[in-house]
Every structure is written in C-alpha cells, then in structure tokens.
Structure 1
Amino acid sequence: MNKEVILQDLGVKDYKETWDYQELLFQQTLDIKIRNRREERTLETPNHFIFVEHPHVYTLGKSGDVQNLLVDEKELDAKGAKFYKINRGGDITYHGPGQIVGYPILDLENFFTDIHKYLRFLEEMVILTLAEYDLKAERSKGETGVWLDVGTPFARKICAMGVRASRWVTMHGFALNVNSDLGYFDMMIPCGIKDKAVTSLNVELGKREVDLEDVKRKLLRHFEVLFEANFIKEKTKI
C-alpha cells in the first residue's frame, strides 16, 4: 500500500480549472486500478492532496437544491462570483478568498476502505487544527463538516465538506473558513441548512487576519498522523 501523498499548493486558481485538474488526477488513478484488475497487475496507485484558494464561487452538489442559492445570475455577476453544478455529495457551498480549500485525491485502498471513516478523519484533522487555536470544534449529528457550539442557539459552521468516490478513489474535499468574507454566505442557504450561522477562524479569534500557511501546516501534520501518511511535494502542473 502506497502511503505517500503528493502535495501541491495551487495558490489562487479558478474553480473550473481546478475541478478539471482534479478530474484528470482522479481518472488517472482509476485507470491504473482498472488496468490492475483486467491484467492482474499490482501497479502502485498515487495519492494527491491539493491546497487551493478560489475566487468567489458557489458550487451545488448532485443532491442539492438550486433554490438554496438566493441570488440570480445578474447578482452573481455584480458580486464577481460564479456558480457551478458539480458531482460531489452535499448541497450548496461557497468558496472564496481567505478560505483554505483542500482536495485529497486518494486511493483509499492504500489506507482503509471506509468512506464514513474517511469523512470522520477529515473532520478530525480540522477539529485538531482548531484546537491548536484554543477553539473547541465538534461534529454535528447528521451534518457533515465542523462546527462550534453544537447543540446551542449559537451553533455555527466553520468548515464544509463534500466528496465524491468511485472504486475507493476520492475527490473534492473540505473548505475551512480562515479569513473569509462572511457576507458572501448571505447569498445562499449554506449546505441547505436553515437557521444556522457560518463563521471563520479570524472572527473567532478576534483577529484581522490569520496566517493561512500556519493553518495549512497544522492541517497537514494532523492528516499525516491520522492517515499514517507522509507528504512529498511536487511542483504545480497547471
């Protein structure tokens, strides 16, 4: 089993361009697995982890309701935002500047074959990272992602998640609000969940800005421990 994970940080990159790149890596791994099965081979499958920051964009998962986007195309244009229907699970999500987006494209057969465990590990990675900033983050029953003050009238979401998997290969991932402009969340019903707020790390810490690179380093360290993996860096290809 290959426990190495190729790490790439794409910086600020258009959503559609990044989605296409994810699909390319995803399909390359699937092709290796299909070839292994057909030809009875044992070629090693790669694992990838992509960090990226997107310009303003709303994405709707395959089970989502477009009515959860509260503005029309003209209003999106005025805000400099785009909208895409995509092939991950979950409902509507916002990505934008100041948010850390992570796309693990893993062959889970290199780690464990359990999608629920995979999602719980991604949540745990974020929970442990936020604990380093003295924040008590939690899961909310029946609601994927990471929350603060669960079970109170002040419950608020700080990290959204949505994945796609085929033949145990994953894509899409998580979006952690760090220095996000929370006003953009007012243009949708986040994840289709009404009457619950959204927050970001800088708001919770009472800071103007939080160091994104510091947050990324913490996330990667916890990922390595949880998945018993090790990262290798690769130069950006797109």
Structure 2
Amino acid sequence: MAAWVARAPVAVWHRPGDRVGPPSRRRHGRPETRRRCDTSGALDLAAAAARARPAVDLYDLSDTLTEYSTAWEWQRAILDLRLRHLARDDADDAMLEEANDDDDDDAPLGSRDVVLMVQHPPVVTLGTGSTAANLKFDPDAPDAPFPVHRTERGGEATYHGPGQLVIYPIINLQDGHHRPDLHWYMRSLEDVALATMESLGVARPGRVDGLTGAWANVNASPPGAESHRESHGTPDGTPDGTSAPGDIAGREHKLAAIGVRARRWVTYHGMALNVDPNLQHFRAIVPCGIGNRPVGSVAQMLGGRPGVVSALDDGSLDAAFEGFEGEFIDGTRWPGADDALMRAARTAATDAFERVFRVRLRPRRGAPDVTAVGGDGSGR
C-alpha cells in the first residue's frame, strides 16, 4: 500500500470573519520605528505559554478495535468521576489543584479532562431522538448486519467501523478555557475535523449550511446540478442512467459526523472521522438522516473515487445491500483500512485538537481504569 504522510500542521481553522494574520506595522500613518530587542528568552516564553494550557489525559486505543459498549461504559464512568471532582466544595480546592498538577502521572482518573480515541467494530448508533426509520434493516432480526445501540447523544443514525477515527472528549466546558455553549463546542469539533482533513490533503474541507459535520469538496458542485441530484439520488448514484459515479466524486461529501451530550457542562460522545472505512456499510442506514448527499472518507477523496449516497427510497432492501460486503461502485473491493493513513490521521487529529481547544494532550498508557465506578457509570 502507498505510504501516507501527514502534511505539516496547519493553523487553527478560523471561522469566516475572524481577523487573522500579524498586526499592522503602521501606527498613525507612519511606519513604526524598528528597534533592536533581546529575543534570547522567546523560546522560554513560548514554552511557558504552552505549559499554561490545561493538560488533558489522552487514551489513544485507536490502533485496535474497541467494542462500542465498552467505550460507552468508559465515557459514562469517566463522566461520573469528572463530575465528582468538580462537585467538591471549596475546602477541597487545594487537593483538586494538586491532583491537576501537569507533572502528576498518578493523578486519579477524572481529576483532569479526558479524550478517548478509538476504532469500533461495525456498529450503528441512534441518537436520543432519532427514528428507526433511518435503518434499512430490522435491528431485532437474527440476520441484522450490525448491532444497534440507542444512546444519549443528539443526531440521527450513525455507522461506526474499522477505518474510522472516533474521538470522545470528556471535558468541562465551564473551566474558563472553553465556553459553556454546545453550539460552540460542536463547531469546535468540526474545526478539529476540518483541520485534520486539510493536514491529510483532502480537497476543499468546509461546512455545508444547515448541516452538522465536516465536509469535503465544499462549493465544488456545478451550479444547478445539486437540485437534480438531491431529488433523484440513490445508493449507486445512477438513478436514471445519466449520473455517472464520477459525478458523485465531484460533489460535497460528508467525512465527519458529530453527536454530543453534556451533563452539567461536562461533555461526552463526540466526533467520528471517516479515514478509510468500508463506505458500503453506510448503505445499511440513512446516515445522519441525510439521504441525498454522499458520505465519503479521506482515502476515498484522496483516491478520487465516488462516495456513497444512501436514501430511504432507493428501491428494495436487496438493492440497498447489493455489493454490501465490500464492493465499491467501480467494482473494486475494500481492502481494509490503510494503516499508514490511520497513523497519519491520529497524529493530525491530536495536533488539531490541541490547537483548536488550546490544551495539551498527555498520552496515558492502556485503557482507562474505571473499576472504581459502577458499570453503568453511576458510581454505585
């Protein structure tokens, strides 16, 4: 397989209207006087500024597959522990400050914010208010292709599987470094995905008005073409014999899905970025309830292949699952996730998360030890 190398880290993804770039070098219409200065301490100041960023424990288990139910249990248990620490009264503040010491590798789980990074075996999840109508199979049937979990997050049906990088932040939005605002938080997760995609070389990453998530090929569709495709799209992109797969390849593709929840402004659930999954598995659902736009991946975009459009009215169930075991539209089969690309994506995503959220991720070994908390995350 080809070796994938992440590009040099890019700047934090700035929203439209943000003022970026160096400050003006003129004042009152005259150039500022150039002065000599001692820069010997500049690196020390930069290092001190980096240390001032809050430390967040990173459990990166994405080099293997973690059952969805296991990661879900971890999230709820860590959330409970985090809330316990934050609920301590003022008399315990000194103890909490000590537990949050950046140099304390033995700090108890939950005393700092946590980020989990995983891959899942094939699974479908439903948000708290989502409808099972966006499933193309009976989740209770013995031959159901994937297990289905209804969760507390927002959003509709979502697929997780190998080749997808899933990030679950358990962070306190009221700590003074962030904002107690779920809209801001979701846009920030989108920023992480967009910066990661750009670092990996994905063309035209961006947002689509009115739709959550991170997209590629934004504003790439020819004017007037979208309305026809939205009303006639099907899984193979050829509803009337006039739309070739190449037309799909040039459209906006959704590469990252986001669904979150928070308790007392501490977050859980999060973001899933399609790095190199089997895209045909998305044909088992209407992804995020969007049945007229293609789902894609980093590998698919870099390879110039078309993604998958999965709508409810695309014919029989058999037609929806044609080629389901892994055959792409062009007749090739999914060879499995590209390990080198996955490694590059992990590096790019952790770097992007640090820059967008202005934190320092501290890698922790192994899986989070949640044995002190009940399996339901209740602490009982």
Instruction: Report the 3-state secondary structure (helix = DSSP H, G, I; strand = E; otherwise coil) of the residue aligned with 1:126.
Output: helix
8 Å contact from structure 1 (residues 2, 46) kept in 2: no
Residues 37-186 of structure 1: pairs in structure 2 closer than 5 A: 41-42=92-93, 43=96, 45-73=111-139, 77=143, 79=145, 81-110=146-175, 111-113=177-179, 114-135=181-202, 136-150=204-218, 152=221, 153=226, 154-186=251-283
Q: Which has the higher helix share?
A: 1
- For residue 40 of structure 1, report the CA deviation from its aligned partner: 6.0
Q: Which residue of 1 aligns with 2:302?
A: 205
Write the distance in 2 (CA, Å) between the matches of 1:73 and 1:60: 11
Distance 1:2 1:30, change over 3 A: farther
Distance 1:155 1:75, change over 3 A: farther
8 Å contact from structure 1 (residues 15, 57) kept in 2: yes
Query: Structure 2 residue aligned with 1:35, among 71, 81, 88?
Result: 88
Write the distance in 1 (CA, Å) between the matches of 2:297 and 2:253: 9
- For residue 226 of structure 1, report the CA deviation from its aligned partner: 1.6
Q: Which residue of 1 aligns with 2:312?
A: none
Distance 1:123 1:76, change over 3 A: farther
- For residue 34 of structure 1, report the CA deviation from its aligned partner: 2.4
Range with greater deviation from structure 2 (210-219 or 15-24): 210-219
Structure 2: stretches of 5+ with no match in the other structure:
1-51, 98-110, 227-250, 305-334, 369-380
Instruction: Kindly indicate whether residue 289 of structure 2 is the aligned counterpart of residue 192 of structure 1.
Output: yes
- For residue 126 of structure 1, report the CA deviation from its aligned partner: 1.2
Superposition CA RMSD, Å: 2.1
Range with greater deviation from structure 2 (127-136 or 200-209): 200-209
Q: Which residue of 1 aligns with 2:77?
A: 24
8 Å contact from structure 1 (residues 100, 176) kept in 2: yes
Q: Which residue of 2 aligns with 1:221?
A: 351
Q: Which residue of 2 aligns with 1:4?
A: 55
Write the distance in 1 (CA, Å) between the matches of 2:91 and 2:184: 28
- For residue 19 of structure 1, report the CA deviation from its aligned partner: 0.2
Write the distance in 2 (CA, Å) between the matches of 1:40 and 1:150: 52
Instruction: Report the 3-state secondary structure (helix = DSSP H, G, I; strand = E; otherwise coil) of the residue aligned with 1:139.
Output: strand
Write the distance in 2 (CA, Å) between the matches of 1:109 and 1:2: 15
Give the structure-2-normalised TM-score: 0.58
Write the distance in 1 (CA, Å) between the matches of 2:194 and 2:260: 18
Range with greater deviation from structure 2 (7-16 or 107-116): 107-116
Give the structure-1-normalised TM-score: 0.91
8 Å contact from structure 2 (residues 200, 344) kept in 1: no
Q: Could you give the per-residue CA deviations for residues 84-123 of structure 1, whole angstroms, max 9, x where no partner exists?
A: 0000011110000111011011111232222222111111
**AA of the residue aligned to 1:93:** T
8 Å contact from structure 1 (residues 46, 107) kept in 2: no
Q: Which has the higher strand share?
A: 1
Which of structures 1 and 2 has the bigger CA Rg? 2
Write the distance in 1 (CA, Å) between the matches of 2:346 and 2:113: 18
Identity of aligned residues (%): 34
Distance 1:75 1:56, change over 3 A: farther
Distance 1:69 1:3, change over 3 A: same
Write the distance in 1 (CA, Å) between the matches of 2:299 and 2:201: 13
